Amino acid sequence: MNKKKLLHKLKTLLEMKEVKEGFPSQQACIDWANKVAPLLKFNQDCYVNFKLNAHKMNLNLSADILVPAFNIMVSQLQMAINELENSEEEVKNMDDQYSWVTIAEEFGITKKEFGRKINFVKGDFLRSIIFRDIEHAYVLAKNGFSKPSVILSGSIIEELLRQYLLQKKIKPSNNTFDEYIKTCSNNGLLKKAIYSLSDSVRHFRNIVHIENEKSKKHSISKATAVGAVSFVFTIANDF
């Protein structure tokens, strides 16, 4: 896609009436975000920041969290447009060679095989979100965006555990990542090694909060991020 066409598409999405006046539903906002995100891949910073906040739109969060997140998404879209308008060069897409094909090559599991392992996750839309977020977590990890990759991987694992417990009709005492892990372990639903790995991912996801990132030793490495993505498939093998 050339710069002129990309710029037109981005401006059209930014100038939609719903962006200023509000979307009729959360799903409508998610649909809009899914159209914008792929177009931002030429700017890695805008793409990553947009995706991190777009992920919140899929969650049951309060308006106090969703509204600021949406405003950041809009600001990242505007920044991308400004960059295109001020650039004399043609855009270069973010390395998009990573897909489920390369995921299969690296981790030894295809999208279809993974889909069968998580057959307890019902609903085409939810399943599509999980597939999409795994691919995005992988792309982020391979491009050196370790922190957002680990956050996204942790969110995927958390949702898989939640859905698994729902399917088993086991209700945790509260809806937190910690409690999902403990409940699975207490009911013998996860092997000991898997339990330990789940806890490690939760630990790394907590470390990446800014207030906890006190020095370089607390930063997340690229290898750790790729490992977190890998664990999504490891835990799926235990379901």
Number of domains observed in the structure of the chain: 2
Q: Report DSSP state, residue 90.
A: P
CATH number at residue 131: 1.20.120
What H or E segment, with its residue span, contains residue 213? none
> Are both 65 and 167 inside the same structural domain?
no
> Are both 115 and 222 inside the same structural domain?
yes
Residue 54 lies in a domain: yes
Contact 131, 210 (CB under 8 A): no
> Are both 71 and 114 inside the same structural domain?
no
What's the whole-number mean pLDDT along residues 154-158?
A: 88
122 or 87: which leads in pLDDT:
122
Which residues fall within 8 angstroms of residue 54, CB to CB, at 6 or more apart?
Answer: 30, 33, 34, 36, 37, 69, 73
> Are both 208 and 230 inside the same structural domain?
yes
Residue 107 lies in a domain: yes
> Are both 133 and 220 inside the same structural domain?
yes
pTM, two decimal places? 0.58
Helix intervals (H) in the chain: 3-14, 17-21, 26-36, 44-56, 63-86, 100-107, 111-117, 124-142, 146-167, 177-186, 192-207, 222-236
Q: What is the pLDDT of residues 46-94, one digit of tens each?
A: 888 888 889 889 888 888 999 999 999 999 999 999 988 887 555 544 4
What H or E segment, with its residue span, contains residue 43? none
Q: What is the pLDDT of residues 18-38, one digit of tens each?
A: 999 999 999 999 999 999 988
Range of the domain at 192: 100-236
> Are both 61 and 108 inside the same structural domain?
no
Mean pLDDT of the chain: 82
> Are both 64 and 162 inside the same structural domain?
no
Q: What band does 1 get if pLDDT is binned at 50, 70 and 90? A: low
> What amino acid occupies position 147?
K
> Are both 180 and 111 inside the same structural domain?
yes
> Are both 150 and 48 inside the same structural domain?
no
> What's the pLDDT at 223?
84
> Are both 219 and 110 inside the same structural domain?
yes
69 or 210: which leads in pLDDT:
69
